[in-house]
Chain A
Amino acid sequence: MLPFIAQRHQPIIRAIVNLWKLVMQTLDEVAVEAPVARSWLRLLLLPLVILAGMGLSVEAGLLGPLGVQVGHLWATLSIFGVGSAILFLLLLFAGPQKGPALNTLPRWQLIGGFLGPIYVVVLTLATPHIGIAMTMIAILSGQVGKSVLIDHFGWFGAVRKKVNAERWLALGLIVAALVLIARG
């Protein structure tokens, strides 16, 4: 394969190359609806997804103390700066991408980038005071509550739907969880 690499290292290199191809294939497949996987694959994937979720809490856990030391905005910049650099490299080596060029898209689709920093700054602000688990619960409350209220009132041009009893119950439980956190 590569003549200048010692023979015994070649299997490792090949394994890395194959792993890379697999990651890239996975990224390519997103747009295509893959059939729901066989059960053993699901069993392998679930712990991985749980680990990824744990990673989100580790990220929040790193942010809080960092924000206290260097300032909340600097901590936020570390996330977006490092993330941009990694994604840029991934994109560079992933080869040409399908789909339209970014500058041909409607402008409003690009505002996601303005909302991200709000979330990260709030994370660094909140975790030192209420802890990571409770911050995550409050974030989830916002996500769930938003979807229920948008459906009920038809905000942002959404179709006004009747919100059923189960979803109101869910919203009530979330408010209860927030009250419990506030009481400490």
Chain B
Amino acid sequence: MMSLIILLAVVVAAGAVLSVQAAINGRLGETVGVLRSSLLTFAVGAVVTGLLILFFEPAHSVGLLDVPKWQLSGALFGVVYMIVMVGAVPRVGTAVATVAVIVGQLGMGMLIDNFGWLGNPAIELSGSRILAMVCLALALVFMYRSSVRSVD
């Protein structure tokens, strides 16, 4: 229980970090273009991770080249997401695009959890999990309404 709370706190903090990163990259993307800003982010990320691996990662008996190749396809989804957003956001608007992404994200997340797809442990959709979703949906509605009003 205690470790779960710490883990949750870490994930929430990672969400905050992600939005700081999005703000910095958004600014960067405006000036140098999305392709270059993304490449910069990914390349720096790869170098930093490589350094961390060299000095901190314990040895594993299974390496990246040993696992089935489909397990390495994660980055493709990230890049496709980036291209779709670049094309769609100016046309459908930021708010609509954000909500559509979250709907897709949580819907797919629930499906993967519920059926244990892609080698994940199956977690049944419980009452409290559904309630958590509802709380988040309501929170997004309030955030959206308050941002609409501040524009007016």
Residue positions of A touching B, CB distance < 8 A: 23, 26-27, 29-34, 36-37, 41-42, 45-46, 48-66, 69-71, 73-74, 76-84, 86-88, 90-91, 94, 97-100, 102, 105, 108-120, 122-123, 125-147, 164, 166-167, 169-171, 173-174, 176-178, 180-184
Q: Chain B interface mostly helix, strand, loop or mixed?
A: helix
A180 lies within 8 A of B62 (CB)? no
Q: Chain A interface mostly helix, strand, loop or mixed?
A: helix
Also in contact, A122 and B14, with CB within 8 A (given A50-B103, A170-B140, A181-B8): yes
The A-B contact count (CB < 8 A) is 415
B4 lies within 8 A of A130 (CB)? yes
Query: In the assembled complex, which residues on chain A have CB atoms less than 8 Å from the CB atom of B104?
Result: 49-57
Q: Give the residues from 63 to 110 in chain B that come closer than 8 angstroms, CB to CB, to chain A.
A: 63-64, 66-67, 70-81, 83-88, 90-93, 96-97, 100-110
Complex Cα distance, B17 from A52, in Å, reads 21
Query: In the assembled complex, which residues on chain B have CB atoms less than 8 Å from the CB atom of A88?
Result: 39, 43
B120 lies within 8 A of A127 (CB)? yes
B71 lies within 8 A of A176 (CB)? no
Complex Cα distance, B142 from A50, in Å, reads 21
A76 lies within 8 A of B120 (CB)? no
Complex Cα distance, B43 from A78, in Å, reads 12
> Can you identify 8 A-B contacts, CB atoms within 8 angstroms?
A26-B83, A45-B88, A62-B71, A81-B75, A84-B46, A111-B24, A112-B24, A138-B8
Q: Which 9 A-B pairs have the closest CB atoms?
A: A142-B15, A113-B44, A53-B104, A133-B109, A53-B101, A55-B77, A82-B75, A54-B108, A80-B46
CB-based nearest A residue for B97: A49
Contacting residue for A46 out of B73, B92, B107, B113, CB 8 A: B92
A79 lies within 8 A of B88 (CB)? no
B5-24 vs A, Cβ < 8 Å mask (1 yes, 0 no): 10110111111111111001
